[in-house]
Chains A and B, each alone.
Chain A
């Protein structure tokens, strides 16, 4: 059974770094791409970036300078790091598995709600 679960801090201070972990089961991160998608409260979805099954990454150009996505294949985990957080980074951060044909997301984690506030 495919599962993804995000874990990380619920509260981050402005200008600090957000670190979120996505722990997956039911598939290997070396066999499927994994993306991060975020959603501000009451708003729509924004693709943050992806780590491809081969280990390379792509980031949303609007966030690229602040982003890092990596993985630990031995633990089947994917990591999101975003620095210089501001209040408009507040929202739910989801990790999502890509489907067999790439450009869509067939399984999503429950998400972690992150509030950026002092």
Chain B
């Protein structure tokens, strides 16, 4: 199975600040079809996960441009700029290139 390693485990940020979350996979996430199925999700307290970014850098419908994804191969990053209160929760990276699909353990974003 592809192991997804997220760092850090938790982050404290001031409102309006910027943060980066790293996600590293144990194998390349480049699919045979040339796509890289790395996605980012936010799970707010008591809610289901919601999609933020798919295929490394594509923002899902309605997602603010304060969220940006980058990376390739095995190393990926989610950046959040001008952090707002509604951004708080647990962020997960996930891979859909190889079965079984797997997720990182999560990064908890909290207010400083």
**Which one of B12-20, B45-53, B81-89 contacts A?**
B45-53
Knowing A45-B92, A111-B48 are in contact, say whether A106-B100 is a contact too (CB < 8 A): no
Contact of A108 among B50, B55, B95, B100 (CB under 8 A): B50
Task: Answer whether residue A102 sits at the interface, using C-beta atoms and an 8 A cutoff.
Answer: yes
Q: How many residues of B contact A (CB 8 A)?
A: 25
Q: How many residues of A contact B (CB 8 A)?
A: 23
Interface residues of B in 77-112 (CB under 8 A from A): 92, 94-97, 99-106
A45:B94 contact, CB within 8 angstroms:
yes
A51 to chain B, nearest CB (A): 14
Task: Answer whether residue A30 sits at the interface, using C-beta atoms and an 8 A cutoff.
Answer: no
Chain B contact residues: helix, strand, loop or mixed: loop
A47:B48 contact, CB within 8 angstroms:
no
Knowing A35-B101, A45-B103 are in contact, say whether A102-B37 is a contact too (CB < 8 A): yes
Task: Answer whether residue A103 sits at the interface, using C-beta atoms and an 8 A cutoff.
Answer: yes
A44:B60 contact, CB within 8 angstroms:
no
Task: Answer whether residue B76 sits at the interface, using C-beta atoms and an 8 A cutoff.
Answer: no
B35:A101 contact, CB within 8 angstroms:
yes
Contact of A47 among B97, B101, B104 (CB under 8 A): B101
Interface string of A89-118 (1 = CB under 8 A from B): 000001000010111111111110000000
Measured CB to CB, the residues of A under 8 A from B are 35, 37, 44-47, 58, 60-62, 94, 99, 101-111
